[in-house]
Amino acid sequence: MKEVRDNCGIFGLYSQFPAVFDIYNGIDFLQHRGQEYCGIATYDQHVRQVTHHGKVGNSFTEQDLLYLTGNWGIGHVSLWERQPMAWQSRLGNISLAFSGNVINADEMIAAMKDQGHSFYRGYNIEVIAKTIMEADDMVTGIAALAERIKGAYSLVVLAAEGIYATRDVYGFRPLILGKNGTRFAVSSESRAIQNLDMDIVRDVRPGEIVLINAEGFHTLKQLPSPRKAHCPFEWAYTASIDSIIDGLYVQEARNHLGQALAQRDIDEKDVEVDIVAPVPMSGIGHALGYHQRSQIRYQDVFLYNRYADRSYTQSSQIAREKMAKRKISVLKYAVEGKRIVICDDSIVRGTQIQDKVRDLKKAGAKEVHVRIACPPLLYPCDFGVSTRTMEELAARQCFPSGNISCIDDLRKLEDWIAGQIDADSVKYNSIDAFVTAIGIPRGDLCLKCWDGIRPLLP
């Protein structure tokens, strides 16, 4: 049984001036990646650290920010774990924050306990920290993660000499560098860099260990990367639409995915509708792409409550369903008497899209056709994205084997899902269509949610 795991955002900044306000703003710009916990650590003779249960804007007090002195530091937002986490070690006084998931954490914890280690809660970040601190120096310790950890990690380590940043050798989770004059930043997403008036420099390469200090970015080691395995959900859903990840704009990717959905409808001469609409917010780019290719009128049919949180970053099912209901209402004027295509990023359990289809029909929609940018979800994530258990995935109930091998299988599933959610039709992008649309080589992506294959070499 897969637990719900965190999706997180990390940020670090080195400056000639007090860093805390930029770090505060940096993690605020990453808030969409996790809303349960937030934290900042700065370095000023030693690590100063404050973490909170809650969102960035509601949590940090003026006293917190005054306490967090120093010209460099790191920050974190999370669904599940309180980070950064500070340690006094033979490598010095350090603090760590990461995004990802350690699949073999339980085995590593058991082995470390046998060696005499103790754990606070057995968090992934503790496993990472203890692995690093066993080494004689920081670079050797960070490099050891690649040998010993199975899973995904983008990591920042705060130390006296600066900020270390690294990405696992597969590059599952994003990490990008930015600068403006003597301010140097590292972030889960470029939006935090751009919105702090800094220029994007480049992505951290899979397996690269970078030190950020007053002179800028220094690659201390480049570990061999057997293959890339970027998470495609970053472009389809997780990341903010104003970010660029591994050279591909999120907005561009979503537009192309929507265009692919429209092209399939055009090729299959299937749907005559009056308007195309997004399920906000992540469906917007997909619906725009659908409109661009089909020339069908784009029209909002839902009003998004910007004060509600993202439903998938809520930590319990009840919280997710409550949040989903709070976050969207129907624009009846736009809907009455219309045949509508609605675009969304993915279907997990199917309950939320079912609610939306019903709401639209209740408001007078004549037909509702659902178009989904991602292929059917058949497997949970192992690498740090909050997904449900296998049993909860709607597509899995139709295909218990977890194998959709041809277009006829896909059509069978689409008809079954349409029946489940009371839609007039449902279509997904196939895996091939998805990969072609975003233009990243198939071998550079993790497709495990869709094909069940873990992209880890033995």
- Least separation in angstroms between CB 377 and ligand SF4: 8
Q: Which stretch binds ligand SF4 (CB under 6 A): 129-137, 177-185, 381-389, 430-438?
A: 381-389
Using alpha carbons only, give the angle 235, 279, 398 rounded to the nearest 5 degrees: 80
CB of 441: closest distance to ligand SF4 in angstroms? 15
Catalytic-residue membership of 343: no
Near ligand SF4 by CB under 6 A, which window of 210-218, 261-269, 419-427, 443-451? 443-451
Q: Are 428 and 258 in contact, with CB atoms under 8 Å apart?
A: no
Q: Which stretch binds ligand SF4 (CB under 6 A): 47-55, 248-256, 272-280, 442-450?
A: 442-450
The site that binds ligand SF4 (CB under 6 A) totals a number of residues, namely 11
Task: Please tell me whether residue 383 binds ligand SF4 under the rule CB under 6 A.
Answer: yes
Kindly state the smallest distance separating residue 190's Cβ from ligand SF4, in Å.
Answer: 19
Interface residue with ligand SF4, options 47, 370, 449, 456 (CB under 6 A): 449
Q: In the complex, what is the shortest distance from the CB of residue 393 to ligand SF4, in angstroms, rounded to a whole number?
A: 12
- Can you tell me the distance from the alpha carbon of 169 to that of 100, in angstroms, rounded to the nearest whole number? 13
HEC sequence for the chain: CCCCCCCCEEEEEECCCCCHHHHHHHHHCCHHHCCCEEEEEEEECEEEEEEEECCHHHHCCHHHHHHCCCCEEEEEEECCCCCCEEEEECCEEEEEEEEEEECCHHHHHHHHHHCCCCCCCCCHHHHHHHHHHCCCCHHHHHHHHHHHCCEEEEEEEEECCEEEEEECCCCCCCCEEEEECCEEEEECCHHHHHHCCCEEEEECCCCEEEEEECCEEEEEEECCCCCCCECCHHHHHHCCCCCEECCEEHHHHHHHHHHHHHHHHHHCCCCCCCEEEECCCCHHHHHHHHHHHHCCEECCCEEECCCCCCHHHCCCHHHHHHHHHHHEEECHHHHCCCEEEEEECCCCCCHHHHHHHHHHHHCCCCEEEEEECCCCCCCCCCCCCCCCCHHHCHHHHHCCCCCCCCHHHHHHHHHHHHHHHCCCEEEECCHHHHHHHHCCCHHHECCHHHHCCCCCCC
**Sole binder of ligand SF4 in the list 171, 232, 350, 376 (CB under 6 A):** 232
Q: Give the shortest CB-382-to-ligand SF4 separation in angstroms.
A: 6
Catalytic residue among 8, 38, 374, 446: 8
Among 231, 262, 277, 281, binds ligand SF4 (CB under 6 A): 231
- Residue 151 makes contact with ligand SF4 by CB under 6 A: no
64, 106 in Cβ contact below 8 A? no
- Token pair of 167 as six digits: 């990405």
CB closer to ligand SF4 out of 334 and 447: 447
Residue 226 CB, nearest distance to ligand SF4 (Å)? 16
At closest approach, how far in Å is the CB of 225 from ligand SF4?
16
Residue whose structure tokens are 């792409």: 289
Contact residue for ligand SF4 among 123, 233, 399, 434 (CB under 6 A): 233
Is residue 175 near ligand SF4 by the rule CB under 6 A?
A: no
Q: Is 381 in the site for ligand SF4 (CB under 6 A)?
A: yes
- Options 53-61, 252-260, 302-310, 377-385: segment touching ligand SF4 (CB under 6 A): 377-385
> Among all residues, whose Cβ is closest to ligand SF4?
381
Residue 446 interacts with ligand SF4 (CB under 6 A)? yes
Cα gap 125→132, rounded to integer Å: 11
Window 385-414: contact mask with ligand SF4 (x via CB under 6 A)? x-----------------------------
Site string for ligand SF4, 59-98 (x = CB under 6 A): ----------------------------------------
Q: Near ligand SF4 by CB under 6 A, which window of 19-27, 345-353, 379-387, 418-426?
A: 379-387
Positions in 189-218 near ligand SF4 (CB under 6 A): none
Q: Which is nearer to ligand SF4, 7 or 131 (CB)?
A: 7
Closest to ligand SF4 by CB, 165 or 385: 385
Alpha carbons 164 and 157: distance in angstroms, whole number:
5
> Shortest Cβ distance from residue 385 to ligand SF4 (Å)?
4
| Smallest gap from residue 348 Cβ to ligand SF4 (A) | 11
CA angle 29, 348, 396 (to 5 degrees): 150
Q: Does 253 bind ligand SF4 (CB under 6 A)?
A: no
**Whole-number Å distance between alpha carbons of 351 and 433:** 25
Does 24 engage in binding with ligand SF4 (CB under 6 A)?
no
Task: For ligand SF4, give the closer residue by CB, 287 or 446.
Answer: 446
Measured between alpha carbons, how far is 344 from 284 in angstroms, rounded to an integer?
8
Which residues does the annotation mark as catalytic?
A: 8
Using CB under 6 A as the criterion, which residues of the chain lie in contact with ligand SF4 when the complex forms? 172, 231-233, 381-383, 385, 446, 448-449
